[in-house]
């Protein structure tokens, strides 16, 4: 057996796993420290060469081998054990044969003790056979000639079994190939018929359906590494800010770029340190000329839209997120170690808060906010160091938080496979159960019409690590629609400002825009690289999304 494994190979698999699991900034920081992309380029490994879910698949195969190793017998029999093989915990066999249980238990303990002293040797299989001491003594006392004969016979038997398996596999492959060819021919015929029907239906009923022609697409090129965040200016829908792993932020004027490729405003690290990536950015919602930018070394700055520095501060750890309050009066900066600092728009410190690790924050008003931790949600006011309230109920890390536009409901998504809807920071109104960990959620700002008045619809979309997206009516906890066609994790999702459309960006390089009433796809676009983040402009006529290759796509959805 010729096996070659390097630390670069392992780093590439971990990097891919972090992306697939929905982590926002950890992949970028890991790439920066381990130089994963540089190693992949040297090895000639492209993204398409790394199979989705490969790390988990390799670990599973390793556990499968451990299962066989622990339960194999020298006489080619197998201990019938019903206990699962864990990745970390020591294995304890469970069998229905009471006479065997104690022996297997002792065998497992011997193996674990051997592991702890690093003295496992080639007689491991014999150690597993302590339930049959008589056979073991007979086997160990056999002569060298008998052992050689036994080995030769076993090798012949193994070779015959492998040859038989290979023949069976060949016959199975041929059979599957014929069946697949028949299915493909039938699928082509069915698609041809569907295309004819769809073409007729489009010409008759939907002559103005959305298109993804080149006239609708603008590609912004400039970042040299992963572009992972973008944000439209809240007042000027022609201005877009982006940030990248290359340590820079760019402010683009879309019209000027489209017209004569006018270069964007380039904002570099304050101390010209290109090794520090930009973690996050956020426009002030009321002062459209003001943007906050934070870096992986803890530096956070406030600039105007021309790139002029207004204020700066430095924290001890990498910044996790930076968010302006609803009216733009205060800026909240949260670092990886759970420390938060609130400043006014001139950069003066208003409050400081120390808690356990924080995954996300959401402003409830201009002077209060919520922070999610391992199992709880902490409610703060900006002028008090300690939380004024703690919301409990989750059984795992709370990865995402969001208030609806009226600030009536708070949605919290957790690794415990649930989303909880809290009413006015008091109690859980609904628990929305999922089949996998929740890593992202977004509220719709749509209005639903009743016979008497218009009121907020409280429609919520959630994304989970099993690649699914679900739309919920958060008022009654009812599931409205589920999408499970993605081939990789949905990295970003967002409703358009009027709630008419829901956009999904995925690591499988696909952008999908869905009608939020009919749930039918309106626009589908496949990019050249995995999608990190997407954002609608305030009019809901353009959407921007960032790619792992450093480019940014702007799509006109009118």
**pLDDT, tens only, 457-480:** 689 999 999 999 999 999 899 999
Burial of 292 (0-12, 13-18, 19+ CB in 10 A): buried
86 CB neighbour count, 10 Å cutoff: 11
77 versus 455: the higher-pLDDT residue is: 77
pLDDT score for 195: 41
Sheet holding 469-473, edge to edge: 438-443, 459-464, 469-473, 478-483
Span of 23-37, 122-136, 175-189 with lowest mean pLDDT? 122-136
Burial of 556 (0-12, 13-18, 19+ CB in 10 A): middle
Domains, the chain, with CATH or none:
217-556 (2.130.10.10)
Highest mean pLDDT out of 36-50, 80-94, 160-174, 531-545: 531-545
483 versus 108: the higher-pLDDT residue is: 483
User: What percent of the chain clears pLDDT 70, i.e. is strictly above it?
Assistant: 74
pLDDT score for 477: 92
pLDDT score for 48: 73
Both tokens assigned to 354? 């120390």
Spatial separation of the C-alpha atoms in residues 392 and 10, rounded to whole Å: 37
Span of 135-144, 227-236, 255-264, 493-502 with lowest mean pLDDT? 135-144
**Are the beta carbons of 471 and 459 closer than 8 angstroms?**
yes
Both tokens assigned to 97? 């044969």
**Are the beta carbons of 489 and 478 closer than 8 angstroms?**
no
- What's the whole-number mean pLDDT along residues 199-205? 32
Confidence of residue 232 (pLDDT cuts 50, 70, 90): very high
CA neighbor of 497 nearest in space, from 305, 220, 234, 216: 234
DSSP assignment letter at 114? H
pLDDT score for 127: 45
Return the CA Rg of the chain.
Answer: 29
Both tokens assigned to 515? 């009608």
pLDDT score for 382: 94
Both tokens assigned to 455? 């009121």
Which CA distances in Å does 476 have to 82, 156, 480, 551? 42, 67, 11, 41
pLDDT score for 139: 40
**Close Cβ partners of 325 (under 8 Å, ≥ 6 residues apart):** 331, 332, 363, 365, 366, 367, 369
Instruction: Read off φ and ψ for residue 197, nearest 5 degrees.
Output: -65, -45
Per-residue pLDDT tens for 294-338? 998 889 999 998 999 999 988 888 888 999 999 999 999 998 888
Confidence of residue 434 (pLDDT cuts 50, 70, 90): very high
Spatial separation of the C-alpha atoms in residues 79 and 205, rounded to whole Å: 65
**Close Cβ partners of 215 (under 8 Å, ≥ 6 residues apart):** 556
pLDDT higher than threshold 80 for residue 445? no
**Are the beta carbons of 218 and 257 closer than 8 angstroms?**
yes
pLDDT higher than threshold 80 for residue 213? no
Confidence of residue 193 (pLDDT cuts 50, 70, 90): very low
pLDDT higher than threshold 90 for residue 290? yes
Q: Which helix (H) or strand (E) holds 514?
A: strand 510-515
pLDDT higher than threshold 80 for residue 384? yes
Both tokens assigned to 307? 């790139």
pLDDT higher than threshold 70 for residue 83? yes
- What's the whole-number mean pLDDT along residues 372-397? 93
- What's the whole-number mean pLDDT along residues 348-366? 91
Torsion of CA 244, 249, 251, 257, to 10 degrees: -50
pLDDT score for 118: 40
Spatial separation of the C-alpha atoms in residues 437 and 335, rounded to whole Å: 23
Confidence of residue 528 (pLDDT cuts 50, 70, 90): very high
**Contacts of 64-70 spanning 24+ positions with Cβ under 8 A:** 66/91, 69/124, 70/108, 70/111, 70/128
Cα 324 to chain center, whole Å? 25
pLDDT score for 97: 45
Is the pTM of the predicted complex or chain greater than 0.85? Answer: no
pLDDT score for 140: 42
pLDDT score for 69: 79
Task: Give the max Cα distance, the chain.
Answer: 96
Q: What are the DSSP E strand ranges found in 315-354?
A: 319-324, 330-335, 339-344, 349-354
pLDDT score for 342: 94
Both tokens assigned to 516? 């939020």
CA neighbor of 470 nearest in space, from 449, 488, 491, 493: 493
- What's the whole-number mean pLDDT along residues 46-72? 80
3-state secondary structure 282-294: EECCCCCCEEEEE
385 versus 205: the higher-pLDDT residue is: 385
Span of 15-29, 235-249, 375-389, 538-552 with lowest mean pLDDT? 15-29
Encode burial over 16-46: b for 16+ CB neighbours within 10 A, e otherwise. Answer: bbbbbbbbbbbbbbbbbebebbebbeeeebe
pLDDT score for 162: 67
pLDDT score for 168: 65
- What's the whole-number mean pLDDT along residues 276-285? 90
Per-residue pLDDT tens for 159-171? 676 666 666 666 6
3-state secondary structure 157-204: HHHHHHHHHHHHHHHHHHHHHHHHHHHHHHHHHHHHHHHHHHHHHHHH
3-state helix, strand, coil in the chain (%, to 5): 30, 35, 40
pLDDT score for 420: 97
Q: Average model confidence (pLDDT) for the chain?
A: 80
Per-residue pLDDT tens for 112-140? 444 444 443 344 444 434 444 444 444 44
pLDDT higher than threshold 50 for residue 106? no
């Amino acid at each position: 057996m010729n096996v070659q494994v390097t630390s670069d190979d392992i780093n590439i698999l971990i990097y891919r796993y972090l992306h697939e699991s929905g982590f926002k900034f950890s992949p970028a920081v890991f790439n920066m420290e381990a130089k994963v992309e540089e190693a992949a380029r040297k090895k000639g490994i492209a993204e398409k060469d790394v199979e989705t879910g490969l790390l988990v698949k390799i670990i599973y195969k390793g556990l499968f081998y451990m299962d066989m190793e622990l339960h194999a017998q020298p006489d080619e029999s197998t201990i019938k054990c019903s206990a699962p093989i864990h990745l970390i915990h020591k294995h304890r066999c469970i069998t229905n044969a009471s006479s065997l249980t104690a022996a297997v238990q002792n065998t497992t303990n011997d193996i674990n003790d051997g592991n702890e002293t690093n003295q496992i040797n080639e007689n491991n299989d014999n150690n597993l056979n302590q339930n049959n001491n008589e056979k073991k003594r007979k086997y160990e006392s056999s002569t060298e000639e008998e052992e050689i004969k036994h080995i030769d016979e076993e090798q012949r038997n193994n070779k015959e079994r492998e040859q038989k398996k290979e023949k069976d596999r060949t016959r199975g492959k041929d059979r599957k190939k014929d069946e697949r060819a028949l299915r493909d021919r039938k699928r082509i015929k069915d698609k041809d018929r569907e295309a004819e029907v769809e073409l007729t239906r489009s010409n008759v009923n939907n002559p103005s359906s959305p298109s993804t022609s080149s006239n609708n697409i603008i590609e912004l090129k400039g970042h040299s590494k992963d572009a992972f965040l973008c944000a439209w200016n809240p007042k000027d829908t022609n201005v877009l800010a982006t940030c990248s792993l290359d340590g820079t932020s760019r402010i683009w004027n879309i019209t000027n770029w489209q017209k004569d490729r006018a270069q964007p405003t380039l904002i570099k690290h304050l101390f010209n340190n290109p090794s520090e990536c930009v973690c996050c950015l956020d426009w002030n919602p009321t002062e459209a000329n003001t943007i906050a930018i934070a870096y992986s070394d803890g530096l956070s700055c406030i600039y105007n839209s021309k790139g002029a520095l207004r204020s700066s501060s430095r924290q001890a750890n990498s910044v996790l997120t930076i968010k302006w309050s609803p009216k733009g009066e205060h800026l909240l900066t949260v670092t990886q170690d759970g420390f938060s600092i609130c400043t006014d728009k001139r950069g003066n410190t208003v409050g400081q808060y120390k808690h356990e690790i924080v995954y996300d924050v959401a402003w409830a008003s201009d002077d209060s906010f919520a922070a999610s931790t391992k199992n709880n949600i902490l409610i703060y006011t900006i002028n008090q160091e300690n939380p004024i309230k703690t919301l409990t109920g989750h059984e795992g890390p709370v990865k995402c938080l969001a208030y609806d536009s009226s600030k009536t409901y708070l949605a919290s998504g957790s690794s415990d496979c649930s989303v909880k809807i809290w009413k006015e920071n008091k109690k859980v109104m609904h628990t929305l159960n999922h089949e996998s960990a929740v890593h992202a959620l977004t509220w719709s700002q749509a209005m639903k019409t009743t016979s008497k008045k218009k009121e907020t619809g409280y429609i919520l979309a959630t994304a989970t690590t099993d690649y699914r997206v679900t739309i919920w009516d958060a008022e009654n906890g009812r599931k409205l629609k589920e999408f499970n066609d993605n081939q990789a994790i949905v990295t970003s999702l967002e409703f358009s400002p009027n709630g008419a459309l829901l956009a999904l960006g995925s690591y499988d390089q696909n952008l999908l825009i869905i009608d939020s009433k009919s749930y039918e796809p309106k626009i589908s676009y496949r990019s050249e690289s995995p999608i990190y983040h997407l954002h609608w402009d305030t009019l809901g006529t353009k959407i921007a999304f960032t790619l792992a290759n450093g480019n940014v796509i702007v799509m006109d959805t009118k």
